[in-house]
Amino acid sequence: MSSVAANGSMDDADAPIVVGVLALQGAFREHIAHLNRLPGVSCVEVRTKEQLLNLDGLIIPGGESTTMANIAQRWGLIPELKNFAEQGRPMWGTCAGLIFLADRASGQKEGGQALLGGLDCKVHRNFFGAQINSFETELPVPQALKAFESGPQGFRAMFIRAPAVLEAGPSVEVLSEYRLTPSEQAVSNGLERVSVAVRSKNLLATAFHPELTEDSRWHKAFVDMVREGSSREGKEALPQGSGKVGSGSLSDKGSGKLPADLPVYKADDKL
């Protein structure tokens, strides 16, 4: 709970961090449901540049990357999103969001799409194929998640028309890799593995969809990144009515109730 200083104002150190989720298209509500289960976090659905002003961190969700880029361009958000990252404020891109944050991309639709850049890496837009090729697997827990000792040693990774990182520069830390099956190697020029989770300074990116599982450890890890880099000085207040804000509590098992219409998969569910 936030404390009140002697002059009656709220202590900024105890104020909740504000995490936005880009809500132009895609799986933004699923991310918000996870964030609402974490203590000390307020959420904002972001659709305008004004809604970026008071954020401590931003999530770019999975979805259709070209559609998302076109909407962001039409609404004048691309320069504002680039500026957000260049200011050092944490951003996390999942699936389509990974493509957004990459400096270079291949396998794009004709005409390409706008990239925010910042991650010194090359991604392949639909590396794992079409919707019918979507799959799930268990990957070892990276160091970024090991701080949460209550979790299992692996995590469930859901790949839905997923990209992959083919090349990563020296400034990019690889958090998780996926070893290709023999049939996948046969159609990928002999690659044995690809990177599916990376981090560079204030940027985090995952090719899979943690928001579609009950495991909140990736969201906890991003919130930790936001807390480490958060500085509320000099930021403007959000305009009234600028977004939906919520907060909630979290149990280690992730038992916070999610809205019934969100496709969150339990451990025994299959795609």
121 is catalytic: no
Contact 102, 57 (CB under 8 A): no
- Of the candidates 124, 177, 211, 219, the residue annotated as catalytic is 211
The helix/strand/coil state of 123 is strand
Distance, in Å, from the CA atom of 211 to the CA atom of 187, rounded to the nearest integer, reads: 29
Those residues with Cβ within 8 angstroms of residue 231's Cβ, 6 or more apart along the chain or in another chain:
none
Query: Taking the CA of residue 238 as centre, how many other CA atoms within 13 Å lie in the half-sphere pointing to its CB?
Result: 22
Sign of CA dihedral 170, 19, 157, 27: negative
Those residues with Cβ within 8 angstroms of residue 49's Cβ, 6 or more apart along the chain or in another chain:
76, 77, 80
Tokens of 128: 């794992």
Comparing CA positions, the residue from 211, 224, 255 lying closest to residue 33 is: 211
* DSSP 8-state secondary structure symbol assigned to residue 258: P
DSSP β-bridge partners for residue 194 = 178
- Of the candidates 30, 34, 43, 95, the residue annotated as catalytic is 95
The catalytic residues are 95, 209, 211
